[in-house]
Structure 1
Amino acid sequence: MGIFLAPTTSAALVRLAELDGDTGSAPLERLRAIRALLVALDTDPASLAGVRAAREQGASWEQVADAAGLKPAAAKWRWQGSDEEIAARQDAGRKRAARPSSVPTDLPGLSVAEAAAQLGITPQAVYLQVSRGRLASRTVELPDGRSYKRVFPGEPPQATPHNHQDDGVRHD
């Protein structure tokens, strides 16, 4: 083993093979070994080397994607470009994945979708009711600059007319 796989990938494969022959191994231990091998394979330089060799032999991105079980855009994102470009994209992807959900869950009121579901109407109808002054809403801005439209079905709408630029409805 290990002719073209990285040592860490070969070790993960050996570990899984050992557990496969061990009928007394714990199911969670086997699951961890499977996941470790998948992670190792996903990051193994042999994948990139294989993609580059296939592309040099004339394989299209569609063919590469099919062989890897990916969509062509995902294959390109993962393997197109220089080593530095690929590493930068993967690093950015890991940073995005490490962040909590992109939409905070502790905001006041309801999202437009939540308000629509609660009221039994469409999101467009929520925006229409907000613009007509029938539903209370506010835009909540977070310290990092992100902003979210929040709806407050239990509150009376503001007495002043809404700013139509902030009501979420296009006025063309």
Structure 2
Amino acid sequence: MPFLSPDAAAALAALEALESGADPAPLDRIRGIRSLVTALEAEPATLAAVRDALAAEASWEQVADAAGLSPSAAKYRWAGDDAEIAERHETSRRRKRERPSSVPTDLPGESVSEAAKRLGVTPQAIYQRVTRGLLEARTVTLPDGRSYKRVFVADRAPGSDG
């Protein structure tokens, strides 16, 4: 009895057709693979199988191992009823949309890693110098709530560019 959704089954069949065809184009192979991955990520049969495994007294560790995930990632993905899962995933998507993914380039001073690289030391050495009072450091908090530790090395005064 088939357990895949029509979308996942169609994506699998399309990829199998490419596989058995005569030397498909590389971009067609990429599209076929991505289409199947996308369909499998949304596959309801996975959630059904997880619920069946838990009902059969499998542990979250066993479910996670079977899925190639950590137990916390498996619980995040599949714990609770449909409404709880949907709300958790929507909250995550909303949080990602609201927060830019790149570090701003117009912050004062240098990052700890930039300072360490320029001075030829480790980031831990930079933190030690800050603790000892040899370097100035400040945490810059942006209006969206992101915070960055910035270091001010003596030859780069706090008011200078970067």
Give the shorter-chain TM-score range. 0.7 to 0.9
Q: 1:88 maps to which residue?
A: 87
Q: Which piece of structure 1 moves more, 135-144 or 19-28? A: 135-144
Provide the aligned length of Structure 1 versus Structure 2: 157
| Amino acid across the alignment from 1:143 | P
Kindly, what percent of the aligned residue pairs are identical?
Answer: 59
Distance in 2 separating the partners of 1:96 and 1:23: 45
Distance 1:147 1:59, change over 3 A: closer
Structure with higher RCO (Cα < 8 A, 6+ apart)? 2
SS in 2 for 1:140: strand
Q: Which piece of structure 1 moves more, 52-61 or 130-139? A: 130-139
SS in 2 for 1:8: helix
Q: 2:62 maps to which residue?
A: 63
SS in 2 for 1:5: coil
* TM-superposed deviation, 1:9: 1.0
Q: 2:9 maps to which residue?
A: 10
Structure 1 length normalisation: TM-score? Answer: 0.75
Q: 1:117 maps to which residue?
A: 117
Q: 2:35 maps to which residue?
A: 36
Q: Which runs of 5+ in 2 are unaligned?
A: none
On the 8 A contact 2:136/2:152 being kept in 1, the answer is yes
* TM-superposed deviation, 1:142: 1.4
Distance 1:136 1:55, change over 3 A: closer
* TM-superposed deviation, 1:132: 5.4
Structure 2 length normalisation: TM-score? Answer: 0.79
Q: 1:20 maps to which residue?
A: 19
RMSD: 2.7
Q: 2:101 maps to which residue?
A: 101
Distance in 2 separating the partners of 1:157 and 1:136: 9
* TM-superposed deviation, 1:138: 4.0
- Counterparts in 2 of 1:138-149, with a 5 A limit? 138-149=138-149
Distance 1:57 1:63, change over 3 A: same
On the 8 A contact 1:134/1:157 being kept in 2, the answer is no
On the 8 A contact 2:136/2:151 being kept in 1, the answer is yes
Q: Which piece of structure 1 moves more, 80-89 or 122-131? A: 122-131
